[in-house]
A and B are shown apart, each in its own frame.
Chain A
Amino acid sequence: MALCEAEKTFVLHGVEENFRVDGREREDYRPMELETDIVSHAFGSARLRLANTDILVAVKIEVDVPFPESPHQGKIEFFVDCSANATPDFEGRGGEDLAVTISSTLSSAYSSSLAFDLRKLCILHGRKCWKLYVDILILECGGNLFDAVSLAVKAALWNTQVPFVKNINIDGNNVEINVADDLYACERLDVKKAPVMVTVCKIGDKCIVDPNAAEEQCSVGSVVVAVSGNKFSTVYQTGKGSLHPSTLIESLKLGFEVAKRLDEALWETLSQIQPDQDVGFLK
């Protein structure tokens, strides 16, 4: 999508007047749609649609050996797939840089044990642990990927069911894990403090959240803020431009406020989800 100068000016003036092209105010989000537990092969999954951005996240769990430098912790890994389905720009290796950026920002945001406690994923100290593979598929790209991905990941982790370990037999070097026979005997992960990311986008002199594809093009620089509880777990600056220190602090404040509201809204939505709802892409 390419914008001409006049279109850019139009977007910029709209932001200035606190009345954006789609009628939103600067701190408003576009409507979102969230459903969980839609991939039957996965241990937990979620699909989030934020206007034209469509994200599908599935969590797979495998047994692994903990890192020797952190024998009491499990593992979590994020994989982002920017397929050419989303936009033709991602064709070939086009989406690779973006995918690396998103996955490394996610793992940085989840790295602190205050944000997400990996110790609960340890099965046997130094010998066995659970490894979470979080696979993120970008189905459609309509701007604001970071926010949508972080919400979908949080919802998928909330939905994830870790098998319940009944007992462990240790015989010399062999460790045998017995998982509970009952399929429904599972543990849920604690994701209350899992980070939520908000992209604060600077257009002209003002900052906005949830930019659409057109607004993303008008922005000179943006800051991705990952907020966990009432702390920042990661801040990452993107875009080609630079920011004045006071603008940076201002956008951090704005991002913090918005992220807290977003987190509350997500939590409320998740608590309303019933086990046997109709799900799927064509519901």
Chain B
Amino acid sequence: MPVDHKRINGPDETYPYSLYAKTNKQSLNEKHEDIKRTGQRSDSRTFLEHRKIFIKTGVVSQAKGSAYIELENTKVIVSVFDPREIPNRPDYSLKGEIYCEFKYAPFSCNKRRLHIQDTEEKQYSAIMKQALESTVCSHEFPNFQVDIYAMVLHNDGSCLSAAITAAGLALAHAGVPMYDIITSVSLGIQQDNLFIDPTNEEQSICLYPRTLDTDHGNVIISKLHMHNQISQFYQSGNISLEKINEAIGILDKTCEELVPVIQKYLVKHVIRNLKDREAK
């Protein structure tokens, strides 16, 4: 693994001490058992309830467009920069391209993240690109590339979907021509329980199967609202066809529920801009 020698790196092999602490530690199985018994999640949401969203644009003054999103404890900041010529490309491309970079801040997770993108972050960048590629009108900026950077400041589950939703808003804020509003939602599955917008703990509950031959896993979907199209779909774990169908239906509905929040914010943004212009 390559190491950045200009920074002061910690020792090669370190692990968070919490892994070895025994006090006050309920196993994930017990936690799931609790949730199943009470029918209520640890933050007293129902299973199909999304967390409250806070969004704001224009948080990075140097970027063309930027957005900040909070799903309670999950905090992601996304910035979009001016189009520039596609680097290292000899021939002229009729379509524009987008470049996505998804990064966890070193302090955002339980375990410290390195400054270099790891495989998970690279994969998430690819998923983000897949989601946003069909949202922007790439023929409007031929031979140019728009850079999108997402930085997770605090990871409490569903980071990727938060980043995609925020990136859609940041692109709109940057004035990049787009076909549609994009919203993205995650879902965790463990046995018969479906967790919409899972927290970090719920995501880890869904990571491992509890018994042989049960459904478990995580699903992320991104949707273009007006066109009713799914621009990105990613699932991991072990899930039966029926469960996936059910999950797609639920995620589809939840994506729709997020649209008014984004729309409202965009309208507010336009009104503010018009007022600013009048004032000038």
List residues of A whose CB falls within 8 A of some B CB.
68-69, 97, 100-101, 103-104, 107-109, 111-115, 221, 223, 228, 230-238, 240-245, 248-249, 252-253, 256
Among B215, B216, B244, B252, the residue within 8 A (CB) of A235 is B244
CA distance A118 to B119 in the complex (A): 19
**A107-B119, A240-B134 known; A230+B240 contact, CB < 8 A:** yes
Q: Which of B208, B230, B240, B248 is A242 in contact with, Cβ under 8 Å? A: B230
- The interface residues of chain B lying within 8 Å CB-to-CB of A114 are 209, 212-213, 216, 238
Q: A68 CA to B134 CA in the complex, in Å?
A: 40
Residue of A nearest to B123 (CB): A104
Nearest 3 pairs between A and B by C-beta? A242-B229, A104-B123, A242-B231
User: 29 A-B pairs, CB-CB below 8 angstroms?
Assistant: A68-B20, A97-B126, A100-B123, A100-B126, A101-B126, A108-B236, A112-B216, A114-B213, A228-B238, A231-B238, A231-B240, A232-B235, A232-B238, A232-B239, A232-B244, A233-B236, A233-B238, A234-B236, A235-B233, A235-B244, A237-B230, A237-B234, A240-B133, A242-B230, A242-B232, A243-B229, A245-B228, A249-B248, A252-B245
Complex Cα distance, B228 from A228, in Å, reads 30
Describe A's contact surface by its main secondary structure: mixed
List residues of B (208-229) whose CB comes within 8 Å of A's CBs: 208-209, 212-213, 215-217, 224, 227-229
Contact B215 A231 (CB under 8 A): yes
Query: Which bucket holds chain B's interface residue count?
Result: 35 or more
- In the complex, residue of chain A having the shortest beta-carbon distance to the beta carbon of B117: A100
**Structural contact, B208 and A113, CB atoms closer than 8 A:** yes
B267 on the A face (CB < 8 A): no
What residues of chain A lie closer than 8 Å to B239, measured between beta carbons?
231-232
Given contacts A100-B123, A104-B123, A111-B236, 4 further A-B contacts (CB under 8 A): A109-B236, A242-B230, A245-B248, A256-B241
Chain B min CB distance to A205 (Å): 14
Known: A112-B216, A248-B230. A242 touches B238 (CB 8 A): no
Decide: A236 and B238 in contact? CB cutoff 8 A: no
CA distance A7 to B135 in the complex (A): 27
Interface check B106, CB cutoff 8 A: no
Whether the pair B233, A100 counts as a contact (CB closer than 8 A) is no
Residues of A within 8 A of B193 (CB): none
Which residues does chain A contribute within 8 Å of B8, judged by CB atoms?
none
Docked Cα-Cα span, A230 to B241, in Å, equals 8
**Is B92 an interface position by the 8 A CB rule?**
no
**A97–B117 alpha-carbon span in the complex (Å):** 13
Residues of B within 8 A of A104 (CB): 119-120, 122-123, 126
Q: Verify if B3 is at the interface (C-beta below 8 Å from A).
A: no
> B133: which A residues are within 8 A, CB to CB?
240
CB distance from A59 to the nearest CB of B (A): 19
Residue of A nearest to B227 (CB): A242
